[in-house]
Structure formats: structure tokens, C-alpha cells
Structure 1
Amino acid sequence: MLTFVGLGLYDLDDISVKGMHAIEKADHVFLEAYTSRLMGTDPAAMEERYKKPVQILKREDVEQHPEPILAAAKVGDVVFLTGGDPMVSTTHSDIRIRAAEQGISTRIIHGASIASAVSGLSGLQNYRFGKSCSVPYPAKNWFPRTPFETIQANLAADLHTIVFLDIQENRYMSVREAVEILEKLSSEEGVSISLYVGMARAGSPEPVVIAGDAAKMLNAEFGPPLHILVVPATLHPVEEEYLRIFADLK
């Protein structure tokens, strides 16, 4: 059996009771550590709470070499832990398909997702979001334009955009860095983004939510990671009021 368990947004207490029961029964526990991170805990604390080893998985372990995970699931109970909700990432859908093709039973235990937390923190109505996008760190001779193209398409349809920020092994993109990238792209296109909503540490006791133009975002203090960004479309009056009260929209 291969059980996908969502850890929620921030720390050890976000996991569901059902998820904890699955871990207690598991013969092997794997933690996918590249699509998201729980900044309020770490693998050592997880092992202490779960009373068993937690094997860390890198991207290549899941996407290219999942054989050890699947082999263990053929003969025992395996739990595959992810931040947020397990099936938000297509990577996880792929390994579930591979398991099914090998006759391995699977199930999903959902966790709180950043996709829903964004709506709660910002007040932006969830049915008004279009396609999401990710902003990666630019590399030498590579400055990706796809995120801005997605935002433009959503704005043309009057839809909000969730912008996921790059997570690398030793660094986490901030709202400030993401806005700098998007402002460079918008300048090159001769258009402007009039409003951003930045959020930090969703699920923590004191998340930060700030709404404003690029100048405000570039000077705002969001604190430690993880950060996420939204580019809103036209605001409904209730959305606007919510941002004024809870995100310092002027």
C-alpha cells in the first residue's frame, strides 16, 4: 500500500489525525522535500514525533528513480509525505499512476493546501482564479517569460493569478525577488501590473499579508520564508474591503 499524506502548511501540528494514524502503521516513511517545505519544523523533529525514520526524497528520487518507493509499497505499508496537499503537484500524480500500473494499492489523505490558504488570507474569491504559474530564479542566459504570459492571459480574462515562488536546496525566493522579476518582464512588454498581494508563512501563528503596487512590495518586510504572491484582477467590493482590513491596501 502506498499512502500519500498531506502535511499541511507550516508545522508538525498541521497533519490530520488520519494522516498520523497512517504514519503509525507504516513500515517506511518518505518525505518529498522539493515542491514545498514546512518551515515550522524539520525532518529531525518529524522523526521524533513519528517515532520512526523519515527518508528524504529529492526531485530525481521521485521523478526518475521511484523504484525503491514502489518496491517497498509492494510488500508493506509506505507513507509518502508532502507539504500541503499531496496531489497539487503533477509529480505525485505520476508516481500514483506508476503504482497503479504495478498493482500497488494507493490512497490519499489530504492536507491543507496553499491554494485554499491564499483565498483565506487574501479574501480573493477562489472561483476567480485562473491558471497558476511559477517564477524560477533566472539562470545565465535564461530569463523565463512564461509566468508573465500566464498573468497577462488571466488579467485579460479578469482572473486572479497565484504565483508560486522558486524553492531551491539552500534558498527560497521572496516576494521582493519575484516582484523584481515580474516588473522587469512587464517593463519589457510595455505594460504594468497595478496590484500585488504578497503572503508569507501561511499556516503559521502570524502570517504576513500585504497588498499594494510594486513600489510597496519592494519595500515591504515579509520576514522569513515561505512566501507566495498573487496578481489580482479587478477586485470585487468585498475583496477590496478584505484587503484593506487584512492586507493594508490603501
Structure 2
Amino acid sequence: MPWLAFVGLGLKLKHLTLEAIEVLKESDIIFLDSYTSVGENISAETLSSFLKKQVIPVSRRNIEDENGKIIFDALDKGLNVSFAVIGDPFIATTHIALLLQAVKKGIEVKIVHGISIYSVAISCSGLMSYKFGKSATIVYPKEGITYEYFYDVIKENKKRGLHTLLLLDLDVEKGIFMRANEALRLLMEIERKRKEGVILENEKVLVIARASLRDQKCVYGVISELLSKDFGPPPHVIIVPGKLHFIEEEALRRFTIK
């Protein structure tokens, strides 16, 4: 009976766990999610070279539009399949739908969790993990429509004194990555429109660029100053602090703009 493994790769090649390497090497065929995120030195080529096995990149069309047909076709041939995902397989992805399909078909499923942007960003910040509320993704306006869900998430979290982790829009296949400056401008535009005092230009936020990578950058400062700051290459995330404990305040001061 063939199996399907969902394997988290972490945010860079050096994040691969012993379990991940073991399962990938046991696979007959490896598919790499090439559209939900990017990682340092993680590509079909680098993975193939490291594992000494063929690694096939798959697109959003392969997995979402075609319901993972490429994967299930391989399973139907009796092959053990690994679906490798940057970060963790089920955090900030839609891959749970693929897992549920496999379960309904009676396919044995394995899960290897990986280091995620969620754990890394919160750990980098020095903020208390249990004081984070709901997270959200800041997305680009589409067809003239500006989405405001993330503004409401910040609003609700702040009411409860909770911190907000904001992921930023990306389209790996098109090479589009929202930068922190763009995200902050969008937030300011929504604030000017709604005038609810949820997030103001004189408020401090934390920007983390390329979390856990060699050129990681963490900057804590008022939004008005961060709007013109160069944070370097993406991916970027933003943390909007809620009510801060004095230890959290001290932790954030490490990243204050000098």
C-alpha cells in the first residue's frame, strides 16, 4: 500500500530535520510545492542535489485547480509520494484539502512538521507567544477593491491587548512579494478612510525581514519612520504589538531604529 507524506522543509535547507530527510529519501517520487512560499537554498535543484533523488516542482494549478491529480496519479501507480512544502505543510497553506482527499481514498498519510514563519517570527520578536491573537495576511487591492479584513483583525486583537502577526501578500509564480513599506501604506490608507484609531503613524510596530535567514533584519519603530525604511529583500512580516509587559518592551528595544 503506497503512502503520501506531507513534509515540512522549514525556511531554509539547513532547517531540514532528520525525520524529513529520512522520509524524503524513502520516497519513490518527491513533489515540491513551488508556489506558497520561498526558502533559502530550497528549490527542486538544490533538494535533488542534496537528496540524490529527482524532485519535481508543482504549481498552484497542479495542486489546487487540478485537485492534486499529479500526486494521486503517482499513488495509483503504487509509488510512495512525498509532497515537500517550505515551512510547515499545513500552516498558511491550503494543503489540508489534499490530506483530506487522501484520507477519503484510504491512502496512508504521513506528516513531518517543519519550522514555520509563525514560530520563527514570534520567537525572533521576544514577545510572549500566548499573547498573540488571530493572525492575518495583508493583501494587495484587486480589481479596485481594497480588502480590510486585516485591519479588523488588528482592531479585535487590540481590544483584548493581544499582539497581531501579519503575513504579507505574495505570488511566488509571478515573482510578486509585498514589502513591509507597502503593507504599512495600505494600513494607513484604511485608517485614514475609517478613522477608527486602530493603527496610527506614531505607533510602533516590528518588521521582520527574511526571518531565520543569514540576512535577517528586525526593525522596531514608529510607522511614519518605517514607511521609507529599506528592509532589504522579502519575505517580510509585521507584528503589531498589543499591551506590552515590561520584559516585552525591553525585548523590542533591541530592534529600535538608532
State if a TM-score over 0.5 links the two structures: yes
Tell whether the 8 Å contact from 2:36 to 2:93 is kept in structure 1 after alignment: no
Q: Given the alignment of the two structures, is residue 216 of structure 1 paired with residue 225 of structure 2, yes or no?
A: yes
- Percent pairwise identity: 32
Q: Is the partner of 2:90 in helix, strand or coil?
A: helix
Q: What is the CA–CA distance in structure 2 between the aligned matches of 1:223 and 1:102, rounded to whole Å?
A: 45
Q: What is the CA–CA distance in structure 2 between the aligned matches of 1:61 and 1:3, rounded to whole Å?
A: 17
Task: Indicate the residue corresponding to 2:52 in structure 1.
Answer: 51
Mapping of residues 39-78 of structure 1, within 5 Å: 39-65=40-66, 66-74=68-76, 75-78=78-81
Q: What is the CA–CA distance in structure 2 between the aligned matches of 1:141 and 1:30, rounded to whole Å?
A: 36
Task: Indicate the residue corresponding to 1:131 in structure 2.
Answer: 134
Q: Which of 188, 192, 204 pairs up with 2:193?
A: 188
Mapping of residues 4-83 of structure 1, within 5 Å: 4-9=6-11, 11-65=12-66, 66-74=68-76, 75-83=78-86
The alpha carbon displacement at 1:219 in A equals 2.4
Task: Indicate the residue corresponding to 2:5 in structure 1.
Answer: 3
Tell whether the 8 Å contact from 1:162 to 1:231 is kept in structure 2 after alignment: yes
Q: Given the alignment of the two structures, is residue 158 of structure 1 paired with residue 161 of structure 2, yes or no?
A: yes
The one-letter code of the counterpart of 1:174 is R
The one-letter code of the counterpart of 1:5 is V
What 5-or-longer segments of structure 2 have no aligned partner? none
Deviations 1:70-124 (A, max 9, x none): 2323412111111111121351111111000001000111111111111111111
What 5-or-longer segments of structure 1 have no aligned partner? none
Q: Normalising to structure 1: TM-score of the pair?
A: 0.94
Q: What is the CA–CA distance in structure 2 between the aligned matches of 1:111 and 1:226, rounded to whole Å?
A: 18
Change (3 A) 1:48 1:90: closer
The alpha carbon displacement at 1:249 in A equals 6.1
Q: Given the alignment of the two structures, is residue 142 of structure 1 paired with residue 145 of structure 2, yes or no?
A: yes
Aligned pairs, how many?
248
Structure 1 moving runs of 4+ over 6 Å? none
The one-letter code of the counterpart of 1:63 is E
Tell whether the 8 Å contact from 1:40 to 1:204 is kept in structure 2 after alignment: no
Q: What is the CA–CA distance in structure 2 between the aligned matches of 1:61 and 1:130, rounded to whole Å?
A: 33
Q: Which of 216, 220, 231 pairs up with 2:240?
A: 231
Q: Given the alignment of the two structures, is residue 207 of structure 1 paired with residue 209 of structure 2, yes or no?
A: no
Q: Which stretch of structure 1 is more off in the superposition, 204-213 or 103-112?
A: 204-213
Tell whether the 8 Å contact from 1:34 to 1:167 is kept in structure 2 after alignment: no
Q: Which stretch of structure 1 is more off in the superposition, 170-179 or 40-49?
A: 40-49
The one-letter code of the counterpart of 1:128 is K
Q: What is the CA–CA distance in structure 1 between the aligned matches of 2:205 and 2:188, rounded to whole Å?
A: 11
Q: What is the CA–CA distance in structure 2 between the aligned matches of 1:5 and 1:112, rounded to whole Å?
A: 11
Q: Which stretch of structure 1 is more off in the superposition, 111-120 or 58-67?
A: 58-67
- Structural RMSD (CA): 1.6
Q: What is the CA–CA distance in structure 2 between the aligned matches of 1:48 and 1:72, rounded to whole Å?
A: 22
Q: What is the CA–CA distance in structure 1 between the aligned matches of 2:141 and 2:219, rounded to whole Å?
A: 25
Tell whether the 8 Å contact from 2:208 to 2:238 is kept in structure 1 after alignment: yes
Q: What is the CA–CA distance in structure 1 between the aligned matches of 2:75 and 2:245, rounded to whole Å?
A: 48
The alpha carbon displacement at 1:39 in A equals 3.5
The alpha carbon displacement at 1:220 in A equals 2.1
The one-letter code of the counterpart of 2:231 is F
Q: Given the alignment of the two structures, is residue 243 of structure 1 paired with residue 252 of structure 2, yes or no?
A: yes
Tell whether the 8 Å contact from 1:39 to 1:225 is kept in structure 2 after alignment: no
Tell whether the 8 Å contact from 1:196 to 1:214 is kept in structure 2 after alignment: yes
